Chain A
Amino acid sequence: AQSVTQLDSHVSVSEGTPVLLRCNYSSSYSPSLFWYVQHPNKGLQLLLKYTSAATLVKGINGFEAEFKKSETSFHLTKPSAHMSDAAEYFCVVSASFGGTSYGKLTFGQGTILTVHP
């Protein structure tokens, strides 16, 4: 079984300051981990993905995340927030569905990022 905990439901930053969105996971298998972003009334867009290659993963729009197995964490960071980053962010773990290889995504509860001018 797998689970995801996003440690903050809301994060508020000023434009130009760093962003940190925290995520801890639990998985019985070597997990694939994703961060998705959802702007209001939109679908989900993939930011980045970890699948057991490099532990520091770079994504789109200046975001990156570091996989730390010892801490079971996959925190999302960005050096300098932009107003357009305001959205909801989901940390997602994918593991096998039952005894199959089918991917089942387990979503965290989401973190709403607010960016102040």
Chain B
Amino acid sequence: DTEVTQTPKHLVMGMTNKKSLKCEQHMGHRAMYWYKQKAKKPPELMFVYSYEKLSINESVPSRFSPECPNSSLLNLHLHALQPEDSALYLCASSPGDDRRETQYFGPGTRLLVL
């Protein structure tokens, strides 16, 4: 199984809502990532989890809260988002956290904040 799955595929939320994005992989990978991709732009790194611990936070606003309950699962909790947070949110995983490792991406969750 070489797949990273993400749910939901689409999400519409208001600025006062709380929602969560879910990412799952069963490849035994020990590093997982959240990226944000705006339209017509490349992905931008948000968070890196390595061995279930938050390793990198790229100065992401606190309205985004990541969580890694176990080595296969990565969540992104959303609260009080702004319309400019509308984007495709991509999850990725890699066997380890070394720079030479390939990152495998999920299909993404397309988020619209009204």
A interface, CB within 8 angstroms of B = 29, 32, 34, 36, 41-46, 49, 51, 90, 94-97, 100-105, 107-110
Contact = CB atoms under 8 A, between A and B. Distances in A.
Contact of A90 (B42, B94, B108): B42
Interface of B: 4, 6, 31, 40-43, 45, 48, 50, 55-56, 90, 92, 94, 97-108, 110
A103 B97 contact: yes
A89 B110 CA distance: 19
A117 B99 CA distance: 39
B105 to A, nearest CB: 4
Contact of A95 (B6, B40, B99, B103): B99
Contacts, number: 65
B100 A107 contact: no
Contacts of B48: 97, 102
Nearest to B107: A43
Contact of B42 (A32, A34, A103, A108): A108
6 contacts: A32-B100, A42-B107, A43-B90, A43-B108, A97-B56, A105-B43
Contacts of B92: 44
A71 to B, nearest CB: 22
Contacts of B41: 109-110
B98 A103 contact: yes
Contacts of A95: 99
A34 B97 CA distance: 16
Nearest to B97: A102
B45 A104 contact: yes
A103 B43 contact: no
A46 B42 contact: no
